[in-house]
Amino acid sequence: MTEDNMTNDNSETEALRTETAEAAPEVAEHDKLRAELEEAKQQALYVQAEMQNLRRRTEKEMADTRAYATTGFARDLLSVADNLQRALAAIPVEMRADDKLKPLLTGIEMTAKELDSVFQRNGVTRIEAVGQALDPNKHQAIMEMESAEAAPGTVVHEMQTGWMIKDRLLRAAMVGVAKAPEGAGVDATA
């Protein structure tokens, strides 16, 4: 190789190095921009997912609000229903046969039926208690009562009716629960 060729090769190598050095920041900048773009895409996807979750939560809350908006009002009307039932239960048989009181009795019965009808239309239902196994999600045990007929843990007496509004508890039923009679299961010959 001649000196001219060496100088020429050196200058080409130097030019290539300069060109590569100049291109390196562009490549690095390009890689940096690509990483920022990828991060921006991920953030956009995250924000989109958050917005969908927020929309779903809001729709559920609105549906629950519509479904259970009458909860407070229904709870207040339960005492009216209780009082109507007490009034009907307090009327003695001989007064029910009195022709002068029949219209009053009929009016009270019709009012109680209409209130039950309004409750039904609005998703408010009675909780069945007597004869059912004690369910702490629906029944509040107030006392235990000895019973040879019912299995222990079975509701045998209802002091106050329980109510549900759709699938939520409005008021627990206050109940008496069966327990085994004293001495039951103990051998009398022993």
Range with the poorest average pLDDT among 10-14, 80-84, 108-112: 10-14
Distance (Å, rounded) from C-alpha 80 to C-alpha 163?
A: 13
> How high is the pLDDT of residue 18?
62
pLDDT band at 71 (very low <50, low <70, confident <90, very high): confident
> How high is the pLDDT of residue 48?
94
Kindly state the tokens that stand for 91.
């009327």
Tell me which residue has tokens 């562009």: 26
Distance (Å, rounded) from C-alpha 129 to C-alpha 169?
A: 14
Nearest to 124 by CA among 52, 71, 178: 71
User: How many residues comprise the chain?
Assistant: 190
Per-domain boundaries in the chain: 1-69, 72-122, 125-184
Kindly report the average pLDDT of the chain as a whole number.
84
Domain 125-184 is in which class? mainly beta
Share of the chain above pLDDT 70, in %: 83
Range with the poorest average pLDDT among 11-25, 59-73, 107-121, 124-138: 11-25
Question: Mean pLDDT, to the nearest integer, of 99-112?
Answer: 89
Distance (Å, rounded) from C-alpha 137 to C-alpha 117?
A: 25
pLDDT tens per residue, range 1-58: 555 555 556 666 666 566 555 656 677 788 888 999 999 999 999 999 999 999 999 9
